[in-house]
A and B are shown apart, each in its own frame.
Chain A
Amino acid sequence: MADDDAPEVLDLGVLNDPAQPGPRPPGLPRRALFTLGGAAALGVGVTLVRSRTSVPAPDARTPVVVSDLNRPLLAGPPVDVFGSGEQEVVRVEAGTGRVTRTYLPGVADVRPDLVPVDGGVLVHRGDDGRSWLVPDGQPARPVPALQRRGPMLPGPDLGHVWLMSGSGPNAPLMLVGLDGLVLRRGVGVSAQLSSYPVPDGTGYPLFFGLQGVYRAGPRGLRRVTTGAVLANGPRGWLVLECDEQSRCSTVLVRRGGTRSPVGISPTDVAATIGGALSPDGRRVALYLGTAAADPGLILVDLVTEGRLRSDTTLAPGASRRSLRWSPDGAALLTVASPGRVVAVDPGTGRSDPLLPESAAVAVRDIAIRA
């Protein structure tokens, strides 16, 4: 890599480790390195090592700050956890404890979409359509080719995303490559006077309309329910639906179309504002909203019908869809008050911060890349 191409990175090295005995690595004193780190934004690629202080936030002069907790943060298969803050995007490599914070000033006034892709994460403003790519370990850069108003949804693979093809929620979606080339057009229903489509959890969109909720999968549109989707996941959806006489029930709808009733009282889950089914489809995590308090997180075992209340409440201003199961279902990640990423043990409901306080970053939404 040429010098000019070097990333503008402040690498803080291992956090909170005791000072290593022995001589400091050769080079400039740490203080001097921090100073130079600021200069890095001016075009000088600098890599810094070692700090025991709290992680500084990235800024225009130092757009990328890297630190390393030097330990796995989640058991199981390694994942990258992305979070969007007011002026930054954070990437936590949960398998190694490496934390990368990237400056992104254009999203302070909105809660953008956060879509992991090959080699980075896309950040998208629905209101004006601006998009940025945050390449892993590098500063954010605008992506004019993906500028479209409305939501950006994850595609079926890490090389594609869904974007609206026109203005308003009634426009069809199109599947677009990261270079802006359109792979598919005219996908979906025009969900009249309803919300924009949302991710289905497997890379396809869900549409909400007067006639129910439809999924635009690889084989076309299929209705998931005439009612409401409470939670989605890779195996299917938990829905609340009502029959010809308005008798309502909760039903597990599998991807293949089979439906099985679930012994959860509709009244227990009718206040759901966001939910996620575990990867094995056995558990569901639901945020239940009331006007009196921040939405609380409950976990329901769909087999035993056991219900567990977590110690977690959704952070104010956080996305109601910021519920992400780890790929093995051993942990549930979410954004708890006051904007910290926590890992919830689905067996106990107990939550722990994903990052220690010295490395914590306030975020409003999270996404996972396996």
Chain B
Amino acid sequence: MSHDDRPEVLDLGMVDEPDASPAEPSRSRPPDVRRRGLLVLAGVAVLGGGAALVRSRGSAPPATAAKPTPTASPRPSPIRLPAGWVVMTQLPEPPLDGRRLDLFGFSDSAIVRVEIATGRVTRTSMPALADVGLSFVPVRGGVLVHRDDGGATYLVPDGHGPKEAAPGLAGSGPMLPGPDLDHVWVSDASGGTPVLRLVGLDGRATGPLVDLPRYTAFQSVPDGGGYALVYGLGGAYWARPQGLIRVTTGAVMASGPTGWLVLDCDDSATCSAILVDRTGQRRTISGVVAPDAAAGIPVGPEGALSPDGLTAALYVGDPTRALRLVLVDLASGERKRTDLTLVGGAVSQSLVWSPDGRWLFGVDSSARMVAIDPRSGGLQLLVPDTIVPALPVVAQIAIRPV
């Protein structure tokens, strides 16, 4: 690799560590004004991106007929990549229990990676992409940043700056996590009928195509288990290689590897919460929806089912005012409050469970990554506020086991 290609890594060392002696050679160099300005701008830009994300997950289908998924438009020109800016910081000690897990925070111009096992925090600045929809997918050895307008996809290898990924990873529509860390789903509408292609990190398609509903209300979203959910005309469909199957005619309230918690309403507009597992079994869950709820009751941001399928993490309240995260025991219907509340207009309602269900990760009203202990509902910051430079606004989070 030539010198020019080498990512610019800024290792800030330990947080709260005493300054190195002037006599000692500096291990790091302080951020210059230009870099600090970039981070500030990134924080501003992501506010719009966050709003778009919320809308795409929570809006209702249009009143009139759903539109066919548009065919792919000409691929936008790639954005010239600046030299990567990578800033690394070592926390005094690993957060939480030091488990082998990477937590990512995404904005439209930066990626934050928190290595919980080591306490290292890595920030990678991206080309400013505030004006396009983005998908972020953790993969083995890095993160894919996908332009949903069909533009170039970027690979951000762990600890390095972004580079353009294989052309086969580009496509109009979102990119979704695949069944494993070596594959992702890429949307493709070039043939008229929208499909998902399973693509390796080398850009090569592998496996069968997955058909999507012809009349979609929204773009596909992850199903929580390596496949896709898509709101089509008639409800939310689970899209797998075996075909499409309707999960609900209503709304998906939470997704997870074992299934979905959905809000279903019957022909007379009586509604209930239903737990749908991946075999199609359905069970009514009490305590989630008021007994007199009618069709159209507010459905908040999409929640997350715990890996064992026994608990649903849901935001409740008025999205325009304040939301509180609650944990619903799906056997008893009992709710447990957590300390995570969001003010109206918060940047992100993103939620993700650790693979063993020991922790739940979210984003607080200040767009900081937080961990919730599901046993107590208690909240703690993943990265202390004292970190310099401050972390960017986080609009979405994801995990990657290591």
- Asked if B78 is at the interface of the complex by the 8 Å CB criterion, the answer is no
B264-299 vs A, CB cutoff 8 Å, 1 = contact: the mask equals: 111111010000000000000000000000111111
In the assembled complex, which residues on chain B have CB atoms less than 8 Å from the CB atom of A274?
A: 64
- Asked if B58 is at the interface of the complex by the 8 Å CB criterion, the answer is yes
What separation, in Å, do the CA atoms of A227 and B295 have in the docked complex?
14
A198-B65 in contact (CB<8A)? no
Q: Which of B22-30, B240-248, B384-392 contacts A (4 or more CB under 8 A)?
A: B240-248
Q: Which of A54-62, A76-84, A206-214 contacts B (4 or more CB under 8 A)?
A: A206-214
What separation, in Å, do the CA atoms of A230 and B214 have in the docked complex?
17
What separation, in Å, do the CA atoms of A273 and B63 have in the docked complex?
10
User: Given A210-B251, A242-B232, A244-B246 in contact, is the A193-B59 Cβ separation under 8 Å?
Assistant: yes
B234-A207 in contact (CB<8A)? no
A93-106 vs B, CB cutoff 8 Å, 1 = contact: the mask equals: 00000000000000
A208-B233 in contact (CB<8A)? no
Which residues 44-72 in B have Cβ within 8 Å of A in the complex?
58-68
B299-A192 in contact (CB<8A)? yes
B296-A266 in contact (CB<8A)? no
B234-A230 in contact (CB<8A)? no
B246-A269 in contact (CB<8A)? no
Give the residue name and chain of the B residue nearest to A198 (CB): B63
Size bin of chain B's contact surface:
35 or more
A239-253 vs B, CB cutoff 8 Å, 1 = contact: the mask equals: 011111110100000
A211-B215 in contact (CB<8A)? no
- Asked if A170 is at the interface of the complex by the 8 Å CB criterion, the answer is yes
B61-A246 in contact (CB<8A)? no
In the assembled complex, which residues on chain A have CB atoms less than 8 Å from the CB atom of B233?
A: 227-228, 240-242, 246, 248
What separation, in Å, do the CA atoms of A248 and B244 have in the docked complex?
12
In the assembled complex, which residues on chain B have CB atoms less than 8 Å from the CB atom of A266?
A: 214-215
- Asked if A141 is at the interface of the complex by the 8 Å CB criterion, the answer is no
What separation, in Å, do the CA atoms of A96 and B204 have in the docked complex?
72
- Asked if B237 is at the interface of the complex by the 8 Å CB criterion, the answer is yes
B267-A223 in contact (CB<8A)? yes
Q: Of B64, B271, B297, which is in contact with the most chain A CB atoms at under 10 Å from its CB?
A: B64
A211-B296 in contact (CB<8A)? yes
B250-A246 in contact (CB<8A)? no
- Asked if A323 is at the interface of the complex by the 8 Å CB criterion, the answer is no
B295-A214 in contact (CB<8A)? yes
Give the residue name and chain of the A residue nearest to B267 (CB): A223
- Asked if B317 is at the interface of the complex by the 8 Å CB criterion, the answer is no
Give the residue name and chain of the B residue nearest to A221 (CB): B269
A221-B294 in contact (CB<8A)? yes
Q: Which of B64, B266, B296 contacts A210 (CB 8 A)?
A: B296
Q: Give the dominant DSSP class at B's interface.
A: loop
A218-243 vs B, CB cutoff 8 Å, 1 = contact: the mask equals: 00111100111110000000001111
- Asked if B365 is at the interface of the complex by the 8 Å CB criterion, the answer is no
What separation, in Å, do the CA atoms of A244 and B62 have in the docked complex?
20
B22 to chain A, nearest CB (A): 58
- Asked if B249 is at the interface of the complex by the 8 Å CB criterion, the answer is yes
Give the residue name and chain of the B residue nearest to A189 (CB): B296
What separation, in Å, do the CA atoms of A245 and B244 have in the docked complex?
5
A211-B68 in contact (CB<8A)? no
Q: Which of A170, A221, A226, A242 contacts B213 (CB 8 A)?
A: A242
Which residues 264-278 in A have Cβ within 8 Å of B in the complex?
266-267, 269-274
A272 to chain B, nearest CB (A): 5
- Asked if B94 is at the interface of the complex by the 8 Å CB criterion, the answer is no
- Asked if B235 is at the interface of the complex by the 8 Å CB criterion, the answer is yes
- Asked if A260 is at the interface of the complex by the 8 Å CB criterion, the answer is no
A49 to chain B, nearest CB (A): 47
What separation, in Å, do the CA atoms of A170 and B318 have in the docked complex?
12
What are 30 of the A-B contact pairs (CB < 8 Å)?
A170-B298, A189-B295, A190-B298, A193-B59, A193-B60, A194-B60, A198-B63, A209-B295, A210-B60, A210-B263, A211-B271, A214-B269, A214-B295, A221-B268, A222-B269, A226-B249, A227-B233, A228-B64, A229-B64, A240-B65, A241-B234, A242-B232, A246-B237, A267-B68, A270-B65, A270-B66, A270-B68, A270-B215, A271-B68, A274-B64
What residues make up the interface of A, taking CB atoms closer than 8 Å to B?
Answer: 170, 189-195, 198, 207-212, 214, 220-223, 226-230, 240-246, 248, 266-267, 269-274, 320
What residues make up the interface of B, taking CB atoms closer than 8 Å to A?
Answer: 58-68, 213-215, 232-235, 237, 243-246, 249-251, 263-269, 271, 294-299
Q: A193-B58, A210-B250, A211-B295 are in contact. List 6 more A-B contacts (CB 8 A).
A: A190-B298, A210-B296, A211-B271, A223-B267, A243-B234, A246-B237
